[in-house]
Structure 1
Amino acid sequence: MPWIQIKLNANNDNAETIGDMLMEDTGALSVTFLDAKDTPVFEPLPGETRLWGDTDVLALYDAEADTDTIVAQIKASQLLPESFSYKVEQIEDKDWEREWMDNFHPMKFGSRLWICPSWKEIPDPDAVNVMLDPGLAFGTGTHPTTALCLEWLEGLDLSGKTVIDFGCGSGILAIAAIKLGAKQVIGVDIDPQALLASKDNAQRNGVENQLEVYLPQNQPDNLSADIVVANILAGPLKELSPVIQSLVRPGGQLAMSGVLETQAEDVANFYRNQFDIDPIIENNEWCRISGRKK
């Protein structure tokens, strides 16, 4: 069945209150918060809802809903200016999971690395192939931040090296590192679903014995590696810079992404005391920051 979606522009202070009003007073079936500038938000602390400075609130309704009445209710709530902006759209009902699967194709990174959906045929059996089913965790290779990290890993000599994937998500970077020759890889993530996805994907690729995964509170003491990759976001990369830097052995290498072009220099400056930083690489406004520990 079709649906109606109403999009409102809000802000960090009122988005959650508006969302509650839409659910309780106007009969919205669901409410989604979407950054109006397409800037991601990192994992909130327990009990905390992190929103963006400019936030679009998307409310979904049955197609039979009276949008004039809903807009009148929104105005009556006085949570938005009288001349607030909104957009009403018809949303087609689809099998979204099937549509996403149909559009996720094998992708090549560098000269030899392929990321292949587990339900598609391998294009090059002689290449380094990572079979991936992301499940509920982030990381398919389609996002520029993941692509930047995969290209960096593909260009390294990982033979005999220990690698830490900090914020491992689906395990895509960790498994790629193993397939590219790493001796041992450790994945760390705050989300138990990510650890489950990483384990499942490692088993799918026959490398489960070379991958260890941990929640941060359970990781071994004095954990360190020759290579560390952290595809998270600018905020955590700055806040956790002492932790991330401590994971890299002297002379080891670090790559970070999840950083917008406008944020890259600021993030890099948190690491310059301990690292010789390479030229920053950009892909569709997203950046990779890499360097070698002094």
Structure 2
Amino acid sequence: MQYIQVTFTFENIEAYQQDLLINDLAEIGYNTFEDTESGFAAFVDFEEYSQVTLTEVLTNSLENIVYTYTVEEIAAKNWNEEWEKNFEPLIISEQCYVRATFHPAQPQYPYEIVIDPKMAFGTGHHQTTTMMMQYILSFNVQDKAVLDMGCGTGILAILAAKKGAKSLVAIDYDEVCYQSTLENSTLNNISNIEALWGGKEVIPQASFDVILANINRNILLDQIENYAAVLNAGGSIFFSGFYESPDLEMITEECLKFDIKYVDHQKIGDWVAAHFIKN
């Protein structure tokens, strides 16, 4: 398979601005990203590349940012080899050890998760995933029904399963993420995660005690009504993938329409994760 590589060079970009751009590119089909000394490279399947769409994203995302970029056609890479070069083990709250298959086990930690991310989002290294894992580690999910929206590698659902969740549904619109969740569930000997490929339309007509949604502000705002419809009274939602201002206020206001109230939030860098409860 042929790919298009778009390599960005920046003069004045902040880390959170680069994260936002990467998120916007992912939404138009870019599926792999590599850091460079002065920016990053983004990769998309040759058939999915559109200069018009790329220009629209850059115009909306990079206002007042000085940058240049190049576009080139490249042959397929061994993506597993690429991420193996940069994937280091991770420890969350001194309780959860996240590693790849080629790292040694560390049985001194209460929870160990083995992740083969491939091109799926969610190794725990991003601030949003870290905060969501911290919430799960501090929250009682024993015997609860859990919905994980935008599951990526399945890492959040896997951690909830290891903490005793009764049943779990993990949903992602990206087929790579869907397949990754299936594979990673097997790697971690988890048998009670049902992975689904799609968006809000595939949420089962069931009831959940806990919803995990690490996506982005606009998708969260669009899907809160769907979450409210399947969340039990007294149930918790944990959101991440957005910023404190104005995102948190917008999400809080939307949740109030469905009698879901803000509890607290945490912040790493510019990213926020928040806990809400349905009355």
Give TM class, smaller chain.
0.7 to 0.9
Aligned to 2:164, the other structure's residue is in SS state: coil
Match for residue 101 of structure 2?
118
Cα distance change on mapping 1:229 and 1:57 into 2, 3 Å: farther
Percent identical = 24
Cα distance change on mapping 1:130 and 1:278 into 2, 3 Å: same
TM-score w.r.t. the length of structure 2 is 0.74
Farther-moved stretch of structure 1 (279-288 vs 29-38):
29-38
In structure 1, what residue type is equivalent to 2:197? L
Task: Say whether residues 1:276 and 2:261 are aligned partners.
Answer: yes
Q: What do residues 129-148 of structure 1 show as CA deviations (whole Å, max 9, x unaligned)?
A: 11111112100100000001
Match for residue 193 of structure 2?
211
In structure 1, what residue type is equivalent to 2:70? A
Q: CA RMSD in A?
A: 2.9
Cα distance change on mapping 1:148 and 1:34 into 2, 3 Å: farther
TM-score w.r.t. the length of structure 1 is 0.71
- Distance (whole Å) between structure 2 residues aligned to residue 180 and residue 278 of structure 1: 22
Q: What do residues 41-98 of structure 1 show as CA deviations (whole Å, max 9, x unaligned)?
A: 2635999946141445521569xxxxxxxxxxxxxxxxxxxxxxxxxxxxxxx99854
Match for residue 51 of structure 1?
57
Q: Give 1:2-17 correspondences, 5 Å limit.
A: none
What runs of 5+ residues in structure 2 fail to find an aligned partner?
30-47
In structure 2, what residue type is equivalent to 1:51? V
What runs of 5+ residues in structure 1 fail to find an aligned partner?
1-28, 63-93
Match for residue 133 of structure 1?
116
Aligned to 1:222, the other structure's residue is in SS state: coil
In structure 1, what residue type is equivalent to 2:251? V
Cα distance change on mapping 1:96 and 1:171 into 2, 3 Å: closer
Match for residue 6 of structure 2?
31
Aligned to 2:117, the other structure's residue is in SS state: coil
1:215, distance to aligned residue in structure 2 (A): 2.4
Q: What do residues 137-185 of structure 1 show as CA deviations (whole Å, max 9, x unaligned)?
A: 1001000000010000011111111111001111111111101111111
In structure 2, what residue type is equivalent to 1:292? I
8 Å CA contact 1:228, 1:247 repeated in 2: no
Q: Aligned residue pairs: how many?
A: 234
- Distance (whole Å) between structure 1 residues aligned to residue 121 and residue 9 of structure 2: 17
Aligned to 2:57, the other structure's residue is in SS state: coil
Give 1 or 2: higher helix fraction.
Answer: 2
